[in-house]
C-alpha cells in the first residue's frame, strides 16, 4: 500500500498543531475565577512577593526551561514587589497534580495572597511577562 | 523509564550545540517521510539504529550529529546556543520506541502498524525540525503523572 496519503495527512496535522503550539507558548492565560489553593513559602520555597509571585515548574527533559528561568530571574531583579520561585516538577508530583501542571515550563502567576491568577505554558516573551505582572494588583 | 532516568543521570549538565539536534531532526524527518511513502523496512531499520545511538550514547554521537559537526557547523555563523543533552536524548528514546513498533509491524506483515508508528515518529520529528517542538516538555510530566 505505497501511497502519499499518510505523508500528506501527517504533515497537515503537524503543521496545524505546530502553528497552534508556536502561538500558544508563552501566552498568559488568566483564570476566570481565582479560587485555587493558597500557596506560601512552605510550598514554593521562597517568601511571596508583595504583589506578584511567579512560580516556574521545570523538568529534566525540557530545553526551554533553562531559558525561561534565566528570563524570569533577570526580570524580577528590577521588580521589587515581584518574586520568583523555581520548582522541579518531578520531585513535587503531588503539587503538580494539585495544580494540574501538564507540561514544562509552566509558570504560575500568584497574587499577593498566594493564589493563582493565571499561568503561561512554554517560554514567555519579556513583554508577555510584563503584561501579565502589570495586570495583577 | 528506568533506562531514560539512568541516561539522564549519566549525562547531567552535558551541554551540546542546540543546532545539532535541530539539524538531526531535519534529516530524521526526511528519512521517516521516505520510509512512510515507500513502506521501506530498511529505511526504518537505519533510523532505528540512529535513534538507538541517540537514546543510549547521546544525541551528539549519532551519524547525523557527525554530519552536522563535519559539514554544517563550520559554515554556521553567530553565537552558539547550547542546550542540555537530556531533552533531545529523551526525544530520541521516544523515537526509538516508535521505530521498534514500526519495524515489528513490517516484520509481522501488519502494514497499518508500520504506517501508524512511522506516522507518529514523523509527526514529532517534523514538529521538532520546523517548530522547535520540545517533546520532553509536553509528554514527560504527563507520563510521570500517569505511572507514579
pLDDT tens digits, one per residue of A3-54: 899 999 999 999 999 999 999 999 999 999 999 999 999 999 999 999 999 9
Q: Which of B87, B126, B145 faces A14 most closely, judged by CB atoms? A: B126
pLDDT bracket for residue A1 (50, 70, 90) = low
A64 touches chain B (CB under 8 A): yes
pLDDT at B27: 98
Cα distance between residue B135 and residue B148, in whole Å: 20
Strand pairing report for A52-58 and A106-110: antiparallel
pLDDT at A99: 96
A26-134 belongs to which homologous superfamily?
Glutaredoxin (3.40.30.10)
ipTM of the prediction: 0.89
Residue A24 distance to chain B (closest CA, Å): 12
Cα distance between residue B42 and residue A4, in whole Å: 18
* Residue closest to A34 by CA, chosen among A110, A137, A122: A110
pLDDT in tens, A94-117: 999 999 999 999 999 999 999 999
More confident of the two residues A114 and B9: A114
pLDDT at B42: 97
- Are B123 and A102 an interchain contact pair (Cβ–Cβ within 8 Å)? no
Q: Which of B36, B137, B144 faces A7 most closely, judged by CB atoms? A: B36
Contact B83, B60 (CB under 8 A): no
pLDDT at B66: 97
* Residue closest to A25 by CA, chosen among A135, A123, A128, A112: A123
The structural domains of chain A, with segments of one domain joined by +, span: 26-134
Contact list, B33 vs chain A (CB under 8 Å): 7, 11
Question: Which residue in chain A has the smallest CA separation from B124?
Answer: A14
The structural domains of chain B, with segments of one domain joined by +, span: 2-9+16-75+83-147
What values do phi and psi take at B3, rounded to 5? -60, -45
- Interface size, chain A vs chain B, as Cβ–Cβ contacts under 8 Å: 106
Cα distance between residue B41 and residue B110, in whole Å: 12
What mean pLDDT comes out for the span B84-109? 97
Cα distance between residue A15 and residue B91, in whole Å: 19
Contact list, A61 vs chain B (CB under 8 Å): 8, 86-87, 89-91, 135-137, 140
Cα distance between residue B108 and residue B97, in whole Å: 16
CB hemisphere CA count around A106 (13 angstroms): 20
Cα distance between residue A49 and residue B22, in whole Å: 38
Q: Which helix (H) or strand (E) holds A47?
A: none
Average pLDDT, chain B: 91
Contact list, B140 vs chain A (CB under 8 Å): 59-62, 104
Amino acid at each position: 500500500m505505497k501511497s502519499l496519503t499518510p505523508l500528506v495527512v501527517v504533515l497537515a496535522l503537524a503543521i496545524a498543531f505546530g502553528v497552534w503550539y508556536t502561538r500558544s507558548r508563552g501566552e498568559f492565560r488568566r483564570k476566570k475565577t481565582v479560587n485555587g489553593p493558597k500557596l506560601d513559602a512552605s510550598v514554593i520555597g521562597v517568601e511571596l512577593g508583595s504583589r506578584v509571585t511567579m512560580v516556574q515548574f521545570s523538568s529534566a527533559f525540557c530545553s526551554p526551561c533553562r531559558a525561561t528561568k534565566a528570563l524570569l530571574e533577570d526580570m524580577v531583579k528590577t521588580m521589587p514587589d515581584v518574586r520568583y520561585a523555581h520548582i522541579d516538577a518531578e520531585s513535587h508530583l503531588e503539587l503538580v497534580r494539585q495544580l494540574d501542571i501538564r507540561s514544562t515550563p509552566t509558570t504560575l502567576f500568584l497574587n499577593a495572597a498566594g493564589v493563582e491568577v493565571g499561568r503561561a505554558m512554554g517560554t514567555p516573551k519579556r513583554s508577555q511577562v510584563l503584561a501579565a505582572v502589570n495586570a495583577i494588583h | 523509564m528506568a533506562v531514560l532516568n539512568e541516561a539522564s543521570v549519566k549525562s547531567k549538565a552535558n551541554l551540546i550545540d542546540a543546532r545539532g539536534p535541530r539539524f538531526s531532526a531535519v534529516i530524521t524527518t526526511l528519512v521517516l517521510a521516505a520510509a512512510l511513502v515507500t513502506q521501506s523496512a530498511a529505511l526504518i531499520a537505519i533510523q532505528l539504529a540512529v535513534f538507538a545511538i541517540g537514546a543510549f550514547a547521546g544525541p551528539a554521537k549519532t551519524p547525523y550529529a557527525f554530519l552536522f559537526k563535519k559539514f554544517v557547523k563550520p559554515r554556521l555563523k553567530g553565537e552558539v546556543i547550547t542546550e542540555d543533552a537530556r531533552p533531545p536524548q529523551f526525544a530520541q528514546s521516544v523515537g526509538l520506541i516508535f521505530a521498534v513498533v514500526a519495524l515489528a509491524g513490517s516484520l509481522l506483515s501488519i502494514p497499518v502498524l508500520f504506517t501508524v508508528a512511522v506516522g507518529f515518529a514523523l509527526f514529532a520529528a517534523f514538529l521538532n525540525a520546523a517548530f522547535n517542538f520540545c517533546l520532553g516538555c509536553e509528554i514527560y510530566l504527563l507520563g510521570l503523572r500517569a505511572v507514579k
